[in-house]
């Protein structure tokens, strides 16, 4: 509030202009797009002839670089970084950020030219649309090329989970979780539903004792799961009926 008033009352005061622009640029750190109005003021002051405003050149350059470096690296920043480098080619932080983005772009171009990566992109898009049968061979192809890719392993787990193939899903989630713990919960969930599936199969086959063991194992994993509680009650009823018949 105070800076805004001072900058408005003294429009020719570069100190107030710089501090206000710096303040405005800090309001939304890392935001996209960058506050170009504030940045343009900072750049304008940084580029002023040193003989005119020697005391502002260095702080303005520091603010300019800080505004750019505190944002997450993104290709949208390339023109801003290149403009800075044209003005101050020896700034190590900006030089490193520019190199990082250009390097990432080169990697991305290489990936986009890779048929296996193309299969991954297409397979993931089909998975998101629920087209599981079409997604499966594409994701398998991508995974064959990168068998330790945790994200791909996890996505394969999701595919099989949605197909109701919980044993396979669990195996993929376990492999994915070795590199990224975010898949651990889904590995456990798949294990739960696999036990439920086996309990139902055993019950349908008339093996109520096995069904009871399976559903009890499932309940140890998720004690409050309604489906498991109901299934256990039904299996115990089956066992009671069997005992009564004997």
pLDDT digits (tens, 9 = 90+) for 149-202: 999 999 999 999 999 999 999 999 999 999 999 999 999 999 999 999 999 999
When comparing pLDDT for 54 and 228, which is higher? 228
State the number of CA atoms in the 13 A half-sphere of 197 facing the CB. Answer: 13
* DSSP conformation letters of 25-81: HTSSTT-SS--HHHHHHHHHHHTS-TTT-HHHHHHHHHHHHHHHHTSPP-GGGHHHH
| Burial readout 204-217 (b: 16 or more C-beta within 10 A, e: otherwise) | eeeebebbbbbbeb
Which among 69, 73, 11 is positioned nearest to 45, based on CA atoms? 11
- Band the pLDDT of 3: cuts 50, 70, 90: low
Give residue for tokens 């005061």.
Answer: 13
Region 230-240: mean pLDDT is 92
Query: Residue 200: is it exposed, middle or buried by C-beta count within 10 angstroms (0-12/13-18/19+)?
Result: middle
Instruction: Report pLDDT for 246.
Output: 38
**Cα distance between residue 130 and residue 183, in whole Å:** 20
135 and 124 in contact (C-beta within 8 Å)?
Answer: yes
Q: Cβ distance 94 to 81 under 8 Å?
A: yes
How confident is residue 39, by pLDDT bands cut at 50, 70 and 90? confident
Q: What pLDDT shows up at residue 188?
A: 95
Model pTM greater than 0.85?
A: no
How confident is the model at residue 68, as a pLDDT?
Answer: 85
Is residue 211 within 8 A of residue 236, CB to CB? The reply is no
Residue 25 has pLDDT above 90, yes or no: no
pLDDT of residue 77: 85
- Least confident range of 18-27, 75-84, 94-103, 163-172: 18-27
Give the pLDDT confidence of 131-149 residue by residue, as tens digits: 999 999 999 999 999 999 9
What does residue 82 show for φ and ψ, rounded to 5 degrees? Answer: -65, -35
pLDDT tens profile 100-123: 999 999 988 988 899 999 999 999
Quote the DSSP letter at residue 237. H
Pick the more confident residue, 3 or 202. Answer: 202
pLDDT at 176: 96
């Amino acid at each position: 509030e105070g800076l805004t008033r001072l900058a408005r009352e003294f429009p020719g005061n570069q100190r107030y202009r710089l501090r206000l622009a710096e303040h405005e640029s800090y309001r939304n750190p890392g935001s996209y797009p960058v506050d170009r109005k504030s940045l343009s003021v900072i750049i304008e002051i940084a580029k002023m002839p040193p003989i005119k405003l020697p005391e502002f050149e260095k702080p303005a350059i520091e603010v300019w670089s800080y505004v750019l470096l505190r944002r997450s690296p993104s290709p949208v920043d390339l023109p801003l970084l290149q403009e800075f480098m044209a003005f101050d080619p020896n700034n190590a932080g900006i030089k490193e950020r520019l190199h990082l983005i250009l390097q990432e772009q080169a990697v991305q171009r290489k990936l986009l030219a890779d048929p296996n990566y193309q299969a991954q992109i297409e397979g993931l898009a089909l998975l998101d649309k629920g087209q599981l049968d079409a997604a499966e061979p594409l994701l398998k192809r991508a995974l064959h090329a990168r068998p330790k890719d945790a994200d791909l392993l996890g996505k394969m787990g999701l595919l099989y989970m949605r197909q109701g193939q919980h044993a396979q899903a669990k195996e993929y989630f376990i492999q994915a979780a070795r590199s990224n713990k975010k898949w651990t919960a889904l590995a456990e969930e798949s294990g739960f539903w696999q036990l439920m599936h086996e309990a139902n199969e055993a019950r349908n086959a008339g093996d109520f004792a096995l069904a009871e063991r399976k559903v009890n194992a499932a309940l140890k994993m998720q004690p409050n799961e309604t489906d498991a509680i109901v299934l256990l009650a039904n299996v115990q009823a089956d066992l009671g009926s069997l005992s009564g018949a004997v």
